[in-house]
Amino acid sequence: MSNSNSSTASQPKYRVLISQEWCKGCGICISFCPKNILAAEGLDQKVKVTDESLCINCTMCEVHCPDFAIQIVPSEANNER
């Protein structure tokens, strides 16, 4: 699971974990993310995070992904859960 971008300002509360292998570029997560921090990248249109610090852990991406390719986990600094 790779995470292509973590903001430097403050430790993000949540981590957006994406499996590049399982993502098929359907765009569902991108369209339903209320904070618009997901975008399609490259020829395969695979998803990547633009600004992880804005993630509010609503998990709209996680529950809608048909291929279990995206997951939200609390970052180490934030033991909210």
Q: Report the interface residues with other proteins, using CB under 8 A.
A: 26-28, 31-32, 63-64, 66
14-18 and 70-74: which strand pairing?
Answer: antiparallel
CB of 69 to other proteins, least distance (A): 14
Which residue, 38 or 53, has its beta carbon nearer to other proteins? 38
7 neighbors 68 (Cβ within 8 angstroms): no
> What minimum distance in Å lies between the beta carbon of 64 and other proteins?
5
Query: Closest approach of Cβ 63 to other proteins, in Å?
Result: 4
Closest C-alpha among 76, 74, 75, 67 to residue 47 = 67
